[in-house]
């Protein structure tokens, strides 16, 4: 019997289907060719993961004339594959167990052998277990595929076991931050070097990302799992990761136990859930001392609709905020006519409230990212409550929704209380809220005079059960400035006196002459024809053709007297008897940002 060695090649078509070809068969005649690939734990091939018929095809090319023949064959996969289900066992832990500490997050998901091939894994991390995502540089997808991502975008390590049977092969690599897909707060790419013994199949890139849950600000980590790589079936059996970038991961401020959960999806619609819980230490011993800033602006007089600005401040190293109750000063109430367009809770949760329900803006700053997080404030109906609550809707990269209730104290003062009782476990550093006033403002000032001794009260609760309170004074708002005293004459010039600014300090004054009158700017700039008296210091005078402006040097100016003397004012034409009563416009801007306009009728000469 003559022995011949035939050299063949094993190829994959990209879908996981393999072919064996012998392209250099000597020109010898034979009646039969038997090819046997051994099975067992070291087998080259693995059977399909699903039950049923599996068809194969063989083709033969004649050496003499190149004619091609073929033969089909099929085998049945079974009978025990019906019992092969997708199942998973998981673990999750932090290297440092102290609440609020920076740590390394480690996790793993192990899959049963011979189950449906996995196509993806999603892990919902415990609420409050977060990462400094916004501080990591992004690596491009092209660089990730080429193995060129650097340490500035690396956030962790990853390992996997691939292959069927009792001896899967370990592969390992790193996790990098890459550009995010829509719906993700950050994109990730796990880059693994696939070496199966002496077979080097290059780099395997698993794409995924972190998504921020809009209800509790927890992170969902998702990774896609391909079925094949370089034409070879992967058969991923386990996945382990460590988010070990220094200072990247941050423990919750609460001790727990805090649950996590996840899902593995597989071919054919298979799915398996997994989960567990983690606990942390020392949450009750974290310091906790947030503070409040608050003010009313705009229409602060009786029956006005003021602007409301509130700021919550928290220190680094403190327990994260879990609840905040802010009580407004006496005399501030909801305006029933302006709170009718409240949004339904389910519509708010979907981020679909109409513009009619919007009453303000919000800006949050958290330690996880250097960029401010903008949002809007909406009126949201609260079941069982007479008044609508305030809903904070942050959209974009850091989508989040936070609801409050609004109640009225049961004492004689009847003060409004805004209660946030479910603030997510986030390292919040500052939260600024502005409720817009004006004619459509949702709150108004009661009639009558301001009650002295008013205050803003705030009580805070930490994620570890800590409590703190803060009170700041709410002084009576300044009155409107009294009308300016003005004389106007083409002979004697212009005289303006402000004797009572209502308790405010003047930032600037602008006086506009009526039509037909102009300034002689050269003469008005001459100090011989100009005098200015300002309490607390001096000031600057600027004129245009029809306006004169005063800018006090002092920030405490409460009285102003300006006189532009003989020849500084010109009249374009002779005044008739009916046109001698004219209107001079005065614009007063105060150091607290408020503006008041006056139209003053004068008897001109």
Distance from C-alpha of 125 to C-alpha of 260, rounded to nearest angstrom: 5
Last residue of a domain, one of 268, 283, 298: 283
Q: Are residues 278 and 294 in the same domain?
A: no
Q: Are residues 377 and 447 in the same domain?
A: yes
* Percentage of the chain exceeding pLDDT 70: 90
Q: Are residues 187 and 77 in the same domain?
A: no
Which helix (DSSP H) or strand (DSSP E) does residue 280 occupy?
none
3-state helix, strand, coil in the chain (%, to 5): 5, 50, 45
Residue 505 is assigned to a structural domain of this protein:
yes
Which stretches does DSSP call E strand in 371-427?
Answer: 373-380, 389-394, 400-403, 405-408, 416-420
Q: Are residues 542 and 418 in the same domain?
A: no
Give me the number of domains the chain comprises.
4
pTM of the model: 0.74
**pLDDT tens-digit series, residues 77-126:** 666 654 567 888 999 999 999 999 999 999 999 998 777 889 999 999 99
Bigger pLDDT: 134 or 511?
Answer: 511
* Contact (Cβ atoms closer than 8 angstroms) between residue 303 and residue 448: no
Residue 478 is assigned to a structural domain of this protein:
no
Residue 217 is assigned to a structural domain of this protein:
yes
Q: What is the dihedral of CA 431, 376, 367, 278, to 10 degrees?
A: 100
Nearest by Cα to 280 from 175, 422, 140, 127: 127
Q: Are residues 59 and 113 in the same domain?
A: no
- Residue 39 makes CB contacts below 8 A (sequence gap 6+) with none
Q: Are residues 397 and 457 in the same domain?
A: yes
Residue 4 is assigned to a structural domain of this protein:
no
Last residue of a domain, one of 242, 259, 283: 283
Question: What integer pLDDT is reported at residue 242 of this predicted model?
Answer: 97
**pLDDT tens-digit series, residues 357-368:** 999 999 999 998
Last residue of a domain, one of 453, 473, 493: 473
Q: State the residue for tokens 């004074």.
A: 473
The domain that contains 407 carries what CATH number? 2.60.40
The pair of three-digit structure tokens given for residue 272, joined into one six-digit string: 């398996």
Residue 598 in this model has a pLDDT that exceeds 70 = yes
Residue 480 is assigned to a structural domain of this protein:
no
* Contact (Cβ atoms closer than 8 angstroms) between residue 187 and residue 178: yes
Q: Are residues 563 and 448 in the same domain?
A: no
Q: Are residues 116 and 253 in the same domain?
A: yes
Q: Are residues 466 and 489 in the same domain?
A: no
Domain span at 189: 88-283
Q: What are the distances in angstroms from CA 140 to CA 147, 150, 154, 156, 245? A: 11, 11, 12, 17, 19
Q: Are residues 468 and 497 in the same domain?
A: no
Bigger pLDDT: 576 or 300?
Answer: 300
Distance from C-alpha of 487 to C-alpha of 510, rounded to nearest angstrom: 15
Residue 3 is assigned to a structural domain of this protein:
no
Distance from C-alpha of 605 to C-alpha of 486, rounded to nearest angstrom: 13
Q: Are residues 505 and 572 in the same domain?
A: yes
Q: Are residues 440 and 499 in the same domain?
A: no
Residue 599 is assigned to a structural domain of this protein:
yes
Residue 402 is assigned to a structural domain of this protein:
yes
């Amino acid at each position: 019997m003559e022995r011949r060695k035939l050299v063949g090649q094993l190829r994959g078509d990209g879908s996981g289907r393999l072919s064996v070809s012998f392209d250099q068969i000597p020109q010898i005649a034979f009646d039969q060719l038997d090819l046997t690939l051994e099975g067992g734990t070291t087998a080259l091939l693995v059977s399909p993961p699903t039950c049923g018929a599996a068809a194969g095809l063989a083709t033969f090319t004649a050496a003499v004339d190149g004619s091609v023949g073929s033969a089909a064959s099929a085998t049945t996969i079974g009978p025990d594959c019906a019992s092969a289900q997708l199942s998973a066992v998981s673990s999750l832990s932090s290297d440092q167990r102290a609440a609020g500490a920076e740590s390394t997050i480690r996790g793993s998901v192990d899959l049963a052998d011979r189950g449906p091939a996995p196509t993806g894994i999603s892990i919902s991390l415990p609420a409050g277990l977060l990462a400094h995502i916004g501080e990591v540089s992004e690596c491009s997808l092209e660089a990730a595929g080429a193995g060129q991502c650097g340490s500035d975008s690396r956030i962790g390590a990853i390992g996997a076991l691939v292959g069927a049977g009792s001896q899967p092969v370990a592969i390992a690599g790193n996790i990098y931050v890459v550009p995010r897909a829509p719906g993700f707060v950050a994109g990730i790419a796990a880059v693994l070097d696939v070496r199966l013994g002496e077979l080097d199949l290059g780099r395997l890139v698993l794409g995924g990302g972190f998504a921020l849950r809009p209800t509790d600000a927890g992170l969902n980590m998702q990774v896609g799992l391909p079925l094949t790589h370089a034409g070879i079936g992967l058969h991923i059996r386990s996945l382990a990761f460590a988010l070990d970038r220094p200072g990247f991961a941050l423990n919750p401020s609460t001790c727990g136990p805090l649950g996590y959960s996840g899902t593995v999806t597989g071919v054919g619609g298979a799915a398996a859930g997994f989960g567990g819980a983690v606990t942390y230490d020392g949450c009750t011993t974290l310091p906790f001392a947030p503070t409040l800033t608050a003010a009313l602006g705009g229409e602060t007089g009786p029956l006005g609709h003021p602007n409301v600005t509130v700021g919550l401040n928290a220190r680094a190293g403190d327990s994260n905020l879990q609840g905040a109750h802010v009580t407004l000063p006496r005399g501030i109430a909801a305006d029933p006519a302006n709170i009718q367009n409240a949004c339904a809770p389910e519509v708010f949760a979907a981020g679909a409230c109409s513009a009619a329900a919007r009453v303000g803006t919000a800006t949050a700053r958290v330690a996880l990212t250097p960029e401010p997080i903008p949002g809007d404030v909406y009126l949201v109906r609260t079941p069982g409550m007479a008044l609508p609550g305030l809903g904070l809707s942050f959209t974009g990269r850091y989508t989040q929704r936070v609801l409050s209730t609004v109640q009225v104290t049961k004492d004689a003062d009847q003060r409004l209380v805004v209660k946030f009782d479910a603030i997510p476990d986030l390292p919040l550093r500052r939260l600024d809220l502005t409720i817009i006033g004006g004619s459509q403002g949702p709150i108004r000032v009661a009639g009558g005079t301001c009650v002295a001794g008013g205050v803003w009260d705030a009580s805070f609760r930490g994620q570890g059960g800590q409590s703190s309170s803060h009170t700041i004074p709410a002084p009576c708002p300044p009155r409107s400035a009294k009308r300016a005293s003005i004389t106007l004459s083409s002979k004697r010039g212009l005289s303006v006196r402000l004797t009572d600014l209502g308790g405010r300090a003047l930032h600037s004054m602008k006086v506009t002459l009526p039509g037909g009158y102009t300034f002689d700017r050269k003469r008005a700039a001459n100090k011989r024809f100009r005098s200015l008296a300002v309490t607390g210091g001096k000031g600057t005078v600027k004129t245009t053709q029809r306006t004169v402006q005063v800018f006090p040097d002092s920030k405490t100016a409460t009285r102003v007297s300006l006189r532009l003397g003989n020849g500084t004012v010109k009249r374009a034409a002779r005044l008739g008897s009916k046109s001698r009563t004219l209107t001079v416009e005065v614009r007063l801007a105060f150091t607290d940002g408020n503006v008041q306009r006056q139209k003053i009728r004068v008897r001109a000469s």
